Amino acid sequence: MEIKDKLEDKKSRETSRFLSFFKKIGINIKTSFKNFVNRFKDGSIGTKLSHFFMGAGNFYHKQFIKGVIYLSIQIGFLTLLIASPKVNNTPIGFKSLVNLITLGTEEGSFELGIPTDNSMLMLLFGVIVIGLLGMFLAAYLSNIKSSYKADLDVKANKKPTTFKEDIASMLDERFHTALLTPAIIGIVTFTILPTIFMILIAFTNYDKDHQGEELISWVGFENFTNIFSGTGEIANRFLPVLIWTLIWAVFATATNYIGGILLALLINKKEVKGKKLWRTIFVLTIALPQFITLLAIRSLLRTDGPINQILMDLGLISEAIEFLGNANSPWLARGMVILINIWIGVPYTMLMTSGILMNVPTELYEAAQIDGATKRQAFFNITIPYIIFVTTPYLITSFIGNITSFNVIFLLTNGGPKVSGGWQAGETDLLVTWLYKLTIEQKDYNLGAVIAIFTFIITATATLLTYRRSKAFKEEDAFQ
């Protein structure tokens, strides 16, 4: 009974930790709404007016520049929303919100000179307008806050801050805002916005048959059911690619991890001289661009290349082996890419392990020595467990890295050997290289987006696991 209770308790703690995140959000929303109401009740006339005309409170407190900035934000945004100016013949404004739902209705007519609605642009503008709406809301709230803050300053017999002081605070108390803003803008426009856009495309019929002068429409989960549960060719191809991706990730991670640790231990042996030189030889692999080394290896392994020639000269084989493209033995190509990946990946783990070996806490060895442990015992009971303990988070990140590793497969085999009618997915294609082919070569953007979302979910799950692990890691400090 007791154990069961404990387990239950642990479980409920885990869930509560998870729920507390959402609770916090809920509380935040609640308090900000309360503050919103309170500010309206307690604020000066200026603050009250700020709820309708942005910047009014700032004018009231003679903070003219700030007032003008807020007012122009409001005027600018409302003008954009109402006027919905056309960019590339597609309106951006409140009409975008309507267009986001319809994705365009005008099929266009060549004779009458009416262009077809540009569905993709409508989708993009819809997302952008929603984003702008969010930003406007933030500006609106900050406008009220700034006026309310000036109210409080006046109440406390202080002067409301001048614009100059505000700027100065950006370089001092609010320096973090100044430093973070450019990075956040970059991440929002180049990571978050595109990702949202891509996710939405997965729910449309934007494929190779809907290019150019064709309207695109929402299709719900059709693409997902086509890939995951359909009986079509693409559904048949999905499972093998997924399984091979996982096999690849497991083997690529394991071989690099074990190989790298062994190599580091070998180089770090006491009797080995010239450690720096040995390390540098292997580090060359990291320093050289992969498009050079991988294409070199691909050429070395050609049927008319040197490796086959040498093997034939030595009499080990009678005819040239097609290492990377033999459609009859896909496992040869698969084995080869995992093998070659050792060449690429082992030096990273070697470098990392070398760094860790230098940082093994010396107290551990001293304690072991006092207890009378031999060197060998110290090695197996301290060094090895320490390395494994410290590198566990790395194992998970490198597993994620291997699921999305693109270069090795693309540059070595380009996914080949080919599978007939395999929706372009060859025998060594991973989800990401297949995704590349589906989108960039075949222009089936919707299917590509589904694969992308799926890969995203796999990696995100693993990422969250890592994150929690590494956090637990910091808190527990089991080794110290």
Partner 1 sequence: MMNNSNEQNVKKYKSVKTSKSVSTIISYSLLVVLSLIWLIPIIWILLHSFRAEYNGEFFVGVVVGDYFPKSLGLENYISLFKDTLFLTWFINTLFVSVFTFILSTLLTLSVAYVMSKLKFKARKTFLSIAIILGLFPGFMSMIAIYYIIKAIGLSQSLFALILVYSAGSGLGFYVAKGFFDIIPNSLMESARLDGATNSQIFGKIILPLSKPIIIYTALLSFIGPWMDFIFAKVILGEEPERYTVSVGLYNMLFGSQPDENLFTVFAAGSVIVAIPIVTLFLSMQKYYVEGVTAGAVKG
- Within residues 320-349, the interface with partner 1 by CB under 8 A covers 343, 347-348
Is residue 300 near partner 1 by the rule CB under 8 A?
yes
Is residue 410 a contact residue for partner 1 (CB under 8 A)?
yes
* 306 near partner 1 (CB under 8 A): yes
Does residue 382 interact with partner 1 by CB under 8 A? Answer: no
Spatial distance between the Cα atoms of 435 and 234, rounded to a whole number of angstroms: 12
> What single-letter DSSP state applies at residue 204?
B
CA 134 to CA 196: how far, in whole Å?
Answer: 15
Nearer to partner 1, 53 or 379 (CB): 379
Least Cβ distance, residue 3 to partner 1 (angstroms): 31
Q: Provide, rounded to whole angstroms, the least separation between the CB of residue 28 and partner 1.
A: 10
Residues in binding contact with partner 1, number by CB under 8 A: 104
Choices 43-51, 108-116, 119-127, 141-149; region in contact with partner 1 by CB under 8 A? 119-127
Nearer to partner 1, 49 or 132 (CB): 132
CB contact at 8 A, 169 and 417: no
Least CB distance to partner 1 at residue 139 (A) = 17
The residue type at 32: S
Query: Which of 75, 178, 247, 388 contacts partner 1 by CB under 8 A?
Result: 178
Among 113, 289, 315, 421, interactor with partner 1 by CB under 8 A: 289
- Looking at the DSSP assignment, which residues form a beta bridge with residue 114? 109
Q: How far is the CB of 138 from partner 1 (least distance, A)?
A: 13
CA distances from 439 to 98, 194, 402 (A): 28, 15, 21
Rounded CA-CA distance 47/56 in Å is 7
Kindly tell me which of 240 and 401 has the beta carbon lying closer to partner 1.
401
Q: CA-to-CA distance for 54 and 73, rounded, in angstroms?
A: 8
Look at residue 209 and give its three-state secondary structure: coil
> Distances from the Cα of 44 to the Cαs of 96, 144, 319, 480, in angstroms?
37, 11, 91, 57
Spell 274-310 as b/e; 16+ CB within 10 A means b.
Answer: eeeebbeebeebeeeebeebbeebbeebbeeeebbee
DSSP strand pairing (90-91 vs 86-87): antiparallel
Q: Is the peptide bond before 417 cis (omega within 30 degrees of 0)?
A: yes
Q: Which of 407, 400, 415, 456 is nearest to 237 (CA)?
A: 415
Residue 304 touches partner 1, criterion: CB under 8 A: yes
- Which run of H or of E encompasses 208? none
List binders of partner 1 among 188-217 (CB under 8 A).
Answer: 189-191, 193-195, 197-198, 201
Residue nearer to partner 1 on the CB measure, 75 or 472? 472
Q: Are 316 and 254 in contact (CB under 8 A)?
A: no
Asked whether position 102 contacts partner 1 by CB under 8 A, the answer is: no
> Would you say 236 or 377 has its CB closer to partner 1?
377
Dihedral sign (CA 322, 327, 331, 335): positive
- Output the CA torsion sign for 313, 317, 323, 328: positive
- When asked if residue 293 is in the footprint of partner 1 (CB under 8 A), the reply is yes
In the complex, what is the shortest distance from the CB of residue 93 to partner 1, in angstroms, rounded to a whole number?
Answer: 17
* Backbone torsions φ then ψ of 129, nearest 5 degrees: -65, -40
Q: Which amino acid is at 46?
A: G
The C-alpha atoms of residue 421 and residue 417 are separated, in whole angstroms, by 12
How far, in Å, CA of 140 to CA of 53, rounded? 9
Pick 75 or 388: Cβ nearer partner 1: 388
- Which of 235, 404, 418, 442 is in the footprint of partner 1 by CB under 8 A? 404
Amino acid at 266: L
CB of 397 to partner 1, least distance (A): 7
Residues of span 57-76 touching partner 1 by CB under 8 A: none
Interaction residues for partner 1, span 418-477 (CB under 8 A): 432, 435-436, 439-440, 445, 448-449, 452, 455-456, 459-460, 463-464, 466-467, 469-470, 473
With binding defined as CB under 8 A, does residue 183 bind partner 1?
Answer: yes
Nearest approach, Cβ of residue 383 and partner 1 (Å): 16
User: Residue 77 is encoded by which pair of tokens?
Assistant: 């945004």
If binding is defined by CB under 8 A, does position 92 make contact with partner 1? Answer: no
Residue 171 in contact with partner 1, rule: CB under 8 A: yes
Output the smallest distance, CB 59 to partner 1, in A: 28
Residues 247-286 that bind partner 1 (CB under 8 A): 263, 266-267, 269, 271-272, 278, 280-286
- 221 sits near partner 1 (criterion: CB under 8 A): no
Q: Is residue 120 within the footprint of partner 1 (CB under 8 A)?
A: yes
Q: Is 227 in the site for partner 1 (CB under 8 A)?
A: no
Q: How far is the CB of 229 from partner 1 (least distance, A)?
A: 24
Alpha carbon dihedral 183, 187, 193, 195, in 10-degree steps, equals 180
**Least separation, in Å, of the C-beta of 118 and partner 1?**
8
Whether residue 215 contacts residue 119, with contact meaning beta carbons closer than 8 Å, is answered with yes
Would you say 120 or 150 has its CB closer to partner 1? Answer: 120
Given candidates 98, 254, 305, 332, which one binds partner 1 under the rule CB under 8 A? 305
Q: Compare residues 82 and 187 and give the one whose CB is closer to partner 1.
A: 187
3-state SS class at 218: strand
Cβ proximity to partner 1: between 141 and 198 the closer is 198
